[in-house]
């Protein structure tokens, strides 16, 4: 009788084994994927009035974005201060316009004019990048005419 009870317990354990194993495997996969945190750091500061953004990063390997509401004819002044690494930047509207795309940016200052009123994503990508990118809405070309 003692052996029958033990044999019954062993059979129940074998029957529940796949049910216990699946959640355990899922927990392990989630734990491993959570450990692969992007390298480096980025701090994104948006102007309180919504006219610009500053992205400051150090040894950064990832992608990030922020959003600016712009009107037709707005001019963005983009300043790149790259210490090292690779920086890519894209300015794209929700309606499909893409006024700027640049890869492997060097330090410098340039402007981009948007052709339509829209919400624009400012997307930045870094590969071992250290530096700073500042995007400011400096003027509206349509107001000057």
pTM score: 0.70
Residues 70, 132 within the same domain? yes
The domain containing residue 18 runs over which residues? 1-36
Q: What is the pLDDT of residue 1?
A: 47
Residues 54, 101 within the same domain? yes
Q: Considering its fold, how many domains does the chain have in total?
A: 2
- What is the rounded CA–CA span in Å between residue 117 and residue 95? 9
For residue 144, pLDDT over 90 is answered with no
Residues 112, 64 within the same domain? yes
Residues 66, 117 within the same domain? yes
pLDDT digits (tens, 9 = 90+) for 83-94: 999 999 999 999
For residue 60, pLDDT over 50 is answered with yes
Residues 93, 126 within the same domain? yes
Residues 29, 57 within the same domain? no
């Amino acid at each position: 009788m003692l052996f029958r009870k033990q044999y019954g317990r062993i059979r129940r354990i074998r029957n529940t084994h796949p049910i216990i194993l699946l959640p355990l495997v899922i927990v392990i996969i989630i734990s491993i994927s959570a450990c692969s945190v992007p390298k480096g750091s980025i701090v994104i500061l948006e102007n309180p009035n919504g006219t610009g953004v500053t992205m400051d990063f150090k040894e950064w390997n990832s992608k990030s974005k922020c959003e600016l509401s712009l009107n037709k004819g707005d001019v963005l002044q983009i300043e790149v201060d790259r210490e090292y690494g690779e920086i890519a930047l894209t300015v794209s509207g929700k309606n499909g316009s893409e006024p700027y795309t640049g890869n492997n940016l060097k330090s410098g200052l340039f402007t981009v004019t948007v052709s339509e009123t829209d919400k624009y994503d400012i997307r930045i990508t870094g590969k071992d990048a250290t530096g700073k990118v500042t995007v400011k809405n400096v003027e509206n070309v349509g107001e000057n005419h």
